[in-house]
């Protein structure tokens, strides 16, 4: 009998003392005017439905499901509270989401720089007091830059802006603050937003107070998470345009978990707001390493405003990178061929009108230029050619590319024969902001030819693995991401990361049911699982198709006869109602047409 499991997950942030607010202890202007954090207790929850498998095949009990760890990251209470406050202010202003996003993200950036600057200021002053030198040297911006901290002049301090009276031109003061920071920090020149004059002073002051409520003792990378959360919300609000600069975090994390960028050069030739870099750094940090020492970041982006978003995003995560503005089709700014250890990207799909005469001699396209007016296989070759001898690539791609014919088929055949294609994962609909249709993740591995899997490609059908965010959007939970990545690890023969606890942990896999890794892969050994995954020999690749649906098959669904009769009866009744409605509507249409014809003949 099919089962449905419904669960609600709840997290509650404890009450915060009003005095424990950013800037209260150490910002020079803040003591008399500190805006105290309002005491609040909010709960965030979501409900998710799961259509399970037959009870006899469900080997893990409901009690084993670790609900807390599966809660999507975007339900973080602080981030939601800040967003709700900022969005309410936008609703009461005259600004569109696209006009509001960059300045608001600039405020998150400003708060972060002020926070880091104040910490460095205290440390430098304490060191100066302890100095044995009789002549104390004045602290300068050089000292801050030596610590990797952005220098913030007095009139750009968050606490200074907080105390400005509403009668002041707050927009002008904000623009001046951004210009002052750029003037003192060469790397930020031309990056920060300066359109605050479009805001009413009361709205700006309210926003300043909203972000001032971020508590000083919050765990983790509060500013980075907040910036990332706001990016996602703005992208969702802007729809198609939003998808051009933001890839949903759960998709990025899946790519990163499979690529495992522990060390080396990372390249994204369609970097958007830099999510691939941020998640790569987070991956390194989660494995007890310092991202600044382990990875180097290189990005290219066509849109100037998006380059600025990316640079601010890196900054609030404590990262630095070489991010350049340029059109990747025609400009290889980073001289990428054979240079990078990791390539990851979410390129625009099905772009037309690329001038192929300008790139006909470009060495980045070793399998030639497709004759069709579609840039998908230009992007794919850009990713592949940028890899060094041991490099790995992971990227998002339109499903249509997996079965594209004619000249695109010839390019795909060349890639398959080269042995670089490692895995293809089919994802379900509604995971991206730009398209509601399913998409795929492709993975390349230059080292594959030296391994046992050199003659095969892994296909995973993950269309049924997801949780609903709202009616139009879905995402992957952390446990679902780990589960899919673990399938790839088992396929690679990398069993070291799968301990006993991980093998036995039962996970909600959406439409695929509730399973542990050990449930589906006994003895921690990869095997084909119908409806989920299959390793296919290159000789069995049908018509050079890289569509997982051709190979993985369909999971058998056990439904007893009584349930079948109920469903068929319900469907038949629904069909009869629809048929009756169709007859009724046909009569109405005929009557209206007759009336119209009668009028026209008069």
pLDDT of residue 11: 30
- CA torsion angle for 441, 246, 336, 298 (degrees, to 10)? -130
Q: What is the DSSP-derived secondary structure letter of residue 443? A: E
Structure tokens at 232: 């996602």
Res 140: pLDDT = 84
Phi, psi dihedral angles at 52 (to 5 degrees):
-85, -175
Decide if 215 contacts 21 (C-beta within 8 A).
yes
Contact 388, 341 (CB under 8 A): yes
Handedness of CA 568, 570, 576, 578 (dihedral sign): negative
Number of Cα atoms under 13 Å in the Cβ half of residue 83: 21
Most confidently predicted of 155-169, 231-245, 385-399? 385-399
Report the range of poorest mean pLDDT among 102-106, 417-421, 483-487: 102-106
Quickly tell me which residue has 């070291």 as its tokens. 496
Q: CATH code for 247-463?
A: 3.40.50.150
Greater model confidence, 180 or 577:
180
Q: Provide the pLDDT for residue 477.
A: 94
Residue (of 142, 150, 156) closest to 119 by Cα position: 150
Q: What is the pLDDT of residue 23?
A: 31
Spatial CA neighbour of 112 closest among 66, 181, 20, 51: 181
In this structure, of 87-96, 101-110, 163-172, 380-389, the range with the lowest mean pLDDT score is 87-96
- 459 φ/ψ angles, rounded to the nearest 5 degrees: -120, 130
Please report which confidence band the pLDDT of residue 28 belongs to, taking 50, 70 and 90 as the band edges.
very low
**Residue 53: per-residue pLDDT:** 35
Interval 37-87: pLDDT, tens: 222 322 232 233 233 333 333 344 333 333 333 333 333 576 777 777 777
Q: pTM of the predicted model, to two decimals?
A: 0.74
Which pLDDT band, with edges at 50, 70 and 90, does 271 fall under?
Answer: very high
Residue 423 pLDDT class (50, 70, 90 cuts): very high
The CATH code of domain 89-225 reads 1.20.1260.30
pLDDT tens profile 334-373: 999 999 999 999 998 889 999 999 999 999 999 999 999 9
pLDDT of residue 433: 64
Check residue 42 and give its pLDDT.
28
What was the pLDDT predicted at 38? 28
| pLDDT the model gives residue 435 | 64
> Is the pLDDT at 403 greater than 90, yes or no?
yes
User: Distances from the Cα of 586 to the Cαs of 198, 231, 459, 574, 600, in angstroms?
Assistant: 54, 48, 47, 18, 21
pLDDT digit string (tens) for 101-154? Answer: 888 888 888 888 888 888 889 889 888 887 766 566 688 888 888 887 889 999
Report the alpha-carbon distance of residue 256 to residue 273 in Å, rounded: 16
pLDDT confidence of residue 134: 54
H helices of 262-323, in order, are 275-286, 291-294, 304-316
Residue among 302, 303, 323 at smallest CA distance from 312: 323
CA distances in angstroms from 388 to 384, 396, 421, listed in the order given? 9, 20, 15
Q: Kindly indicate the confidence band of residue 321, based on its pLDDT and cuts at 50, 70 and 90.
A: very high
Beta-bridge partners for 43: 12
What are the E-state strand segments in 196-269?
264-268
pLDDT of res. 567: 67
d(CA 494, CA 422): 14
CB 409 within 8 A of CB 382: no
At CA 213, angle to CA 210 and CA 216, rounded to 5?
150
Is residue 495 within 8 Å of residue 508, measured between CB atoms? Answer: no
pLDDT at 4 over 70: no
Name the average pLDDT for the chain.
79
- What single string gives the DSSP state of each residue in 535-548? EEEGGG-GGG---T
User: Crossing angle for the helix pair 222-238 and 275-286, nearest 10 degrees?
Assistant: 150
pLDDT interval class at 32 (50, 70, 90): very low
Segment 411-437 shows an average pLDDT of 89
Distance, in Å, from the CA atom of 253 to the CA atom of 267, rounded to the nearest integer, reads 16
Burial grade of 5 (CB within 10 A; 0-12, 13-18, 19 or more): middle
Residues paired with 468 in a beta bridge: 474
pLDDT, mean of residues 391-413: 94
CA-nearest of 103, 118, 144 to 22 is: 118
Asked if 69 and 59 touch (Cβ cutoff 8 Å), the reply is no
Mean pLDDT of 149-171: 90
Q: For residue range 203-260, what is the model confidence (pLDDT) as tens digits?
A: 888 888 888 877 655 544 556 667 777 777 776 766 544 445 578 889 999 999 999 9
Counting Cβ atoms within 10 Å, is residue 495 exposed (0-12), middle (13-18) or buried (19+)? middle
pLDDT at 573: 72
Quick one: pLDDT at residue 147? 81
Closest CA to 151 of 141, 137, 161, 138: 141
pLDDT band at 3; cut points 50, 70, 90:
very low
The region of weakest confidence among 81-95, 193-207, 585-599 is 81-95
Domain locations along the chain: 89-225, 247-463
Question: Could you tell me what percentage of the chain is helix, strand and coil, using 3-state DSSP and rounding each to the nearest 5?
Answer: 50, 15, 35
């Amino acid at each position: 009998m099919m089962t449905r499991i419904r669960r609600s997950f709840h997290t509650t942030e404890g009450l915060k003392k009003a005095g424990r607010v950013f800037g209260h202890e150490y910002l020079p202007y803040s003591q008399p005017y500190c805006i105290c954090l309002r005491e609040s207790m909010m709960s965030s929850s979501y409900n998710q439905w799961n259509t399970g498998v037959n009870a006899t095949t469900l080997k893990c009990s409901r009690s084993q499901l670790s609900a807390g760890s599966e809660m999507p990251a975007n339900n973080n209470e602080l981030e939601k509270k800040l967003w709700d406050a900022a969005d309410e202010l936008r609703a009461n202003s005259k600004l569109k989401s696209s006009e509001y996003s960059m300045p608001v993200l600039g405020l998150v950036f400003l708060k972060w720089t002020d926070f880091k600057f104040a910490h460095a200021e205290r440390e430098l002053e304490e060191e100066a007091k302890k100095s044995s030198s009789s002549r104390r040297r004045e602290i300068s911006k050089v000292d801050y830059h030596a610590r990797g901290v952005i220098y913030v002049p007095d009139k750009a301090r968050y606490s200074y802006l907080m105390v400005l009276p509403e009668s002041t031109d707050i927009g002008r003061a904000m623009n001046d603050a951004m210009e002052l920071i750029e003037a003192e920090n060469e790397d930020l020149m031309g990056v920060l937003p300066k359109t605050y004059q479009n805001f009413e002073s009361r709205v700006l002051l309210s926003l300043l107070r909203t972000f001032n409520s971020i508590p000083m003792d919050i765990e983790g990378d509060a500013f980075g998470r907040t910036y990332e959360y706001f990016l996602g919300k703005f992208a969702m609000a802007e729809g198609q345009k939003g998808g051009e600069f933001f890839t949903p975090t759960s998709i990025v994390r899946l790519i990163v978990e499979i690529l495992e960028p522990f060390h080396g050069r990372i390249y994204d030739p369609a970097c958007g707001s830099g999510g691939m870099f941020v998640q790569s750094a987070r991956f390194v940090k989660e494995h007890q390493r310092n991202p600044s020492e382990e990875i180097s970041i290189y990005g290219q982006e066509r849109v100037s405003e998006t380059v600025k978003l990316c640079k601010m995003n890196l900054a609030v995560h404590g990262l630095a990178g070489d991010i350049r503005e340029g059109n990747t089709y025609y400009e290889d700014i980073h001289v990428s061929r054979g240079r990078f250890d990791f390539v990851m990207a979410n390129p625009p799909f099905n772009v037309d009108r690329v001038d192929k005469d300008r790139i006909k001699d470009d060495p980045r396209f070793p399998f030639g230029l497709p004759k069709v007016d579609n840039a998908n296989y230009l992007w794919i070759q850009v990713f592949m050619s940028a890899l060094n001898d041991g490099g790995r690539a992971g990227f998002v791609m339109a499903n249509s590319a997996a079965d594209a014919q004619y000249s695109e088929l010839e390019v795909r055949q060349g890639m398959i024969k080269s042995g670089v294609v490692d895995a293809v994962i089919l994802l379900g609909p509604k995971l991206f902001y730009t398209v509601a249709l399913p998409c795929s993740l492709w993975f390349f591995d230059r080292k594959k030819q030296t391994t046992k899997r050199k003659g095969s490609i892994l296909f995973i059908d993950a269309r049924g693995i997801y949780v609903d965010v709202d009616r139009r959007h879905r995402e992957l939970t952390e446990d679902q991401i780990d589960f899919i990545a673990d399938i790839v690890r088992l396929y690679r023969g990398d069993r070291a990361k799968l301990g006993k606890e991980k093998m036995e942990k039962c996970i909600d896999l959406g439409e695929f049911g509730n399973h542990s890794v050990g449930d589906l892969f006994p003895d921690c050994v990869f095997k084909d699982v119908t409806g989920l995954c299959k390793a296919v020999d290159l000789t069995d690749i049908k018509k050079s198709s890289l569509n997982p649906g051709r190979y993985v098959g369909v999971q058998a669904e056990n439904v007893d006869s009584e349930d079948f009769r109920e469903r068929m009866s319900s469907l038949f009744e629904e069909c009869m109602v629809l048929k009756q409605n169709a007859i009724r509507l046909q009569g109405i249409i005929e009557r209206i047409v007759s009336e119209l014809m009668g009028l026209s003949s008069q």
